[in-house]
Amino acid sequence: MIVALGGDGFMLETLHRVLHRGIPVYGMNRGSVGFLMNAWSENGLPARLAEAQAATLHPLRMMALDVHGKRHEAVAINEVSLLRETRQVAKIRITVDGRERLAELSCDGVLVSTPAGSTAYNLSAHGPIVPLSANLLPLTPISAFRPRRWRGALLPSEAQVVFEVLEPEKRPVAAVADFTEVREVVRVEVREDRTVSLTLLFDPGHGLSERVIAEQFTV
C-alpha cells in the first residue's frame, strides 16, 4: 500500500499515478481540507494500516473531440467539467443515453461528478451530495443563464452523457477531467468506467461513506 502525506489535491495525484496498479492508498492530512485523508499522527501507523477500512471508487472516462478533429481521452476521479474560455456564455446541448435532454444550455459551464467528487466542485456549484452506494452521477450546471431555473439532474451510474458545444468558434469551451484540460472542444462524452477500481483506506468510523453523509449536515 501507499501512505500519502498531503491534501486532497495530492491524494488525487497519487490515485492517478496508481490508476491501473491496484495499490490501496492511505492518506494522512498535511493540507487544508483533507476530505479524502485521515487525521495526521506520527504514532501507531502500522496498527492504523492494519485496521483500515477500504472504500472503492470508479472514475469517469472522458472522450473529447476538439475543433481540429483530434480525439482526447482522460480519466477523472472527481469530475469532468466544461467551462467557457472567453467572455461569451457557453451554449451546450446535452444528450443522455442517446436522448436529447436539453437542446441548449446557456451557462458558464456544466459538470458530471462521481459520488466521491460530489463534495468538491460539484458542491461549490450547488450540486447535490451523493452517497457512495447510491450509484448516481450528479449532472450540475455552472451559473446557468438559460434555462434559468434548471438545477441539474441525478443520473444512473451507467448513463452515458454527451455534451455538444454550439457555436464553438464564437463561444469556445474547454473540457477538464481532474488535471487534464482540452481546449476548444466540440463534443465531449462522459461515462463511469467500471473496469477501473481505486481503493482508499480509512480509519474505522471515519470512512468516506460516513464523511459524505456527514457533509450533508454541515452548517
Q: Which of 8, 97, 178, 193 is catalytic?
A: 8
CA dist., res. 16 & res. 78, Å (int)? 11
Cell of 131: 452517497
Rounded to 10 degrees, the C-alpha dihedral 126/131/136/139 comes to: 10
Q: What is the DSSP code (8-state) at residue 143?
A: S
CA dist., res. 174 & res. 151, Å (int)? 21
Distances (CA, A) of 101 to 89, 199, 200: 20, 34, 35
Rounded to 10 degrees, the C-alpha dihedral 193/140/130/183 comes to: 40
Active-site residue flag, 66 = no
Contact 84, 158 (CB under 8 A): no
Contact 69, 89 (CB under 8 A): no
Residues involved in catalysis: 8
